[in-house]
Amino acid sequence: MTDTNIASSSRLSACTVGTGPALVLFHGGMGSRNHWSRNLDALATRFTVHAVDLPGYGDSFTVSKSIAPEEYIDHVLSGIRPIVGDTPFMLAGFSFGGVVAAMTAVRLATQVRKLSLLGVGGFGPAPALPMRAIPPDAAGAVARRAVFRHNLGTLMLADPAAVTDEALDLHMQNFNRTRYDGRGHANSEYTALSLARMNCPVQFIYGSKDALHGDELEARKNHVLHLRPDAEFVIVPGVGHWVQYEAAEAVNQHLLAFLPPDT
């Protein structure tokens, strides 16, 4: 495993594992590459996996909070270029990172061989959820952790048993290292607008109990298939928004079945 933590404007920080065709992973908003922590080992059996921290997240370089969406994609493209070069690669994105991945696929045209989008927004505004404001450090670690636990269960995970200390630690780490607000991408229509413009096959994966998208999955499926009749649309039963974490084994199987390049 190679851990590359380069906080510069020339390259995104990335964890690289495995051998085979290149696969780049984009995380969700208020996240980091640890959103893929339960998927790396399985994907690394078939791919050289580059799980990156996007601009303004984790260990990658910081960008202006007021940056225009297309300029944000410019930074993403310049950041992954040193990682993948001009070589064709597969791309997967979760939530906000899925919107960024869809826009990236349009910009890179045939260099992106296949695209998988998990829990992705970009089809219009998402519903408001009963999230709690994070209390200040002065409130104490116990009080802060309780709020993070509530928010993790409200937004990310459907099964209360999935809100483990491990998941909570990852979530809290990500909150502390987030310096960009991706909700402008997630609440946009960039994914829908990108579908007709991209050249690659595309897969969608959602949890059936996704707090942001679960109530509209049938309509979302119909919309996607209207725009891209060749798209694969997968609904994983019983799990929430962070689908690749809560249902890692099932999602890994779907990704491994879809992503390998045609020979």
Q: What would the mean pLDDT of 36-53 be, rounded to a whole number?
A: 98
Q: So where are the chain's domains?
A: 2-126+180-258
Percent of the chain exceeding pLDDT 90 equals 90
Q: What would the mean pLDDT of 189-207 be, rounded to a whole number?
A: 96
Q: Which stretch of 3-7, 72-76, 216-220 has the lowest confidence by average pLDDT?
A: 3-7
Helix%, strand%, coil% for the chain, nearest 5 = 45, 15, 40
Instruction: Give the integer Cα–Cα distance in Å for 76 and 207.
Output: 27
Q: What would the mean pLDDT of 58-72 be, rounded to a whole number?
A: 92
Q: Write out 90-132 in H/E/C secondary structure.
A: EEEEECHHHHHHHHHHHHHHHHEEEEEEECCCCCCCCCCCCCC
pLDDT in tens, 94-127: 999 999 999 999 999 999 999 999 999 999 999 9
Confidence of residue 11 (pLDDT cuts 50, 70, 90): confident
Confidence of residue 10 (pLDDT cuts 50, 70, 90): low
Q: What is the pTM of this model?
A: 0.95
pLDDT at 9: 53
pLDDT at 66: 87
Single out the residue of 235, 234, 252, 93 nearest to residue 158, CA to CA.
Answer: 235
Q: Does domain 2-126+180-258 have CATH number 3.40.228.10?
A: no
